[in-house]
C-alpha cells in the first residue's frame, strides 16, 4: 500500500458507452481521457474533442489537460493550449483542444480513443504584493536561452 495521498474527484458521465478517465498504470500522474466522437485531423488542423464527463475539481486544485506522449511522438498530436487549464469552479464538460502537428499524415480519432491526459495538481491561492524592487536571485533577469544548450 502506498503512502501517496489520494484526492476524491466527483465526476458526472454524460455517455454510458464512454469509459471514465482512468490511470493506465499504478503510479501514473495522468488519467487517460477518451474521445466520445469521431474526428479527422488533417495536417495542422485542430479540433475541440468531447471527453464525455464533467468533474468537480476541489478548491485549491486545478486540472491540466496534457498531451499523451505516444500520440505526440508517433503522430504529432498535441494539445493546442497545452496544458489546458480546468479551474476548480468549472462544472462543464471536459474537452481536449487537439492539433495535428504532422505535416503530412491525417490522424483519425474514433469514439473511445485515448486522446489526452488529465493531471490534477494543487494550486495555492496567490496574494500579489507590489514592491519597488524584487529581492536578488542568482539567475537575475537572464531569460530565454541564458543557460545554453549543453
- The pLDDT, as a whole number, for residue 60 is 96
Phi, psi of 98 (to 5 degrees): -100, 155
Q: Which three cell numbers stand for residue 130?
A: 507590489
Q: Does residue 1 carry a pLDDT above 70?
A: no
Residue 14: C-alpha distances to residues 44, 56, 63, 92, 118 (Å): 29, 14, 19, 11, 17
Q: How many CA atoms lie within 13 A of 71 on its CB side?
A: 23
Residue recorded with cell 480546468: 86
The 10s digit of each residue's pLDDT in 67-93 is 999 999 999 999 999 899 999 999 999
Reported as a pLDDT band with limits 50, 70 and 90, residue 144 is confident
**What per-residue confidence (pLDDT) applies to 86?**
97
Q: Which residue has the higher pLDDT, 5 or 96?
A: 96
Amino acid at each position: 500500500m502506498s503512502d501517496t495521498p489520494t484526492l476524491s474527484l466527483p465526476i458526472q458521465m454524460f455517455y454510458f458507452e464512454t469509459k471514465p478517465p482512468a490511470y493506465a498504470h499504478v503510479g501514473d500522474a495522468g488519467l487517460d481521457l477518451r474521445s466520445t466522437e469521431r474526428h479527422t485531423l488533417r495536417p495542422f488542423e485542430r479540433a475541440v474533442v468531447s471527453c464525455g464527463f464533467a468533474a468537480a475539481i476541489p478548491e485549491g486544485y486545478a486540472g491540466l489537460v496534457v498531451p499523451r506522449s505516444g500520440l505526440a511522438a508517433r503522430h504529432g498530436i498535441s494539445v493546442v493550449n497545452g496544458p489546458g487549464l480546468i479551474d476548480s469552479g468549472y462544472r462543464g464538460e471536459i474537452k481536449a483542444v487537439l492539433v495535428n502537428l504532422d505535416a503530412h499524415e491525417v490522424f483519425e480519432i474514433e469514439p473511445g480513443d485515448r486522446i489526452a491526459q488529465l493531471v490534477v495538481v494543487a494550486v495555492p491561492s496567490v496574494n500579489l504584493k507590489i514592491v519597488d524592487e524584487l529581492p536578488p536571485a542568482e539567475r537575475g533577469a537572464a531569460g530565454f536561452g541564458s543557460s545554453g544548450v549543453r
